Amino acid sequence: MRQQTKVLVSSLLVTLVILMGGFFASQWWLVTKPIHTIIGQQAGLHVTEMKVMPTEVRLNLKIEPAYDFMNQYPRLLAELEQVAGYRKLTVTLDNGRLPAVDQAWDELQFALREALATKRYTLIPEALKRVAEKHKLTYDVKMDERFVYMQLGHKGQTWRQVVPLEIDSSNEAEQRY
């Protein structure tokens, strides 16, 4: 009887090790490695942190000033979502702190939220232009069917933000933009 218990426990442990090893290996080969490959092909973009979980992929990206954010990032985001598959993809851009931009961003919040809530998206470029000119910042804005891509610049430094067009009202407190 004691021998059977040892065999049963050993079998259970071996099975768990194989299953967990297979799970982590599949995450590495199917998600982590492809994401590193995709981002490695982007000049001026680096992963600072990545966490792959069964239902979510979280990425922190550092963007260098030379990176063509407005043209390359929307395609990059689509590729990353494809690799993430059924997992929720959360990307955080590591912009650093730019005091000149912080104040402008704070001023832009009301107009941005109003434009998103009323679905009057043409207000966003107008508001961005007004705030950028007031603070003597360079700016650019682009929109696709799901996101608004914005960048504000000051003295050679660029701050970038991606804002979803649809706000998840059940999760509004967690929206980071």
Region 147-154 average pLDDT: 92
Q: Sign (positive/negative) of CA torsion 81, 27, 39, 37?
A: negative
Q: What is the pTM of this model?
A: 0.77
Question: Model confidence at 173, in pLDDT bands (50, 70, 90)?
Answer: very low
Q: Is residue 111 a contact partner of residue 78, using CB atoms and an 8 Å limit?
A: no
Distance spanning both ends of the chain, measured CA to CA = 62
Strands 45-52 and 56-63: antiparallel
Q: Is residue 150 a contact partner of residue 128, using CB atoms and an 8 Å limit?
A: yes
Beta-bridged to residue 150, according to DSSP, are: 141, 161
Phi/psi-derived region of residue 176, left when phi > 0, alpha when psi is between -120 and 50, beta in every other case: beta
> 53 is written with which tokens?
């979980």
Question: Smallest Cα–Cα separation from 36: which of 22, 48, 53, 21?
Answer: 48
Q: Is residue 52 a contact partner of residue 32, using CB atoms and an 8 Å limit?
A: yes
The predicted-structure confidence for 46-101, as pLDDT tens digits, reads as follows 999 999 988 999 999 999 888 899 999 999 999 999 999 899 999 999 877 788 88
The SS3 call for residue 67 is coil
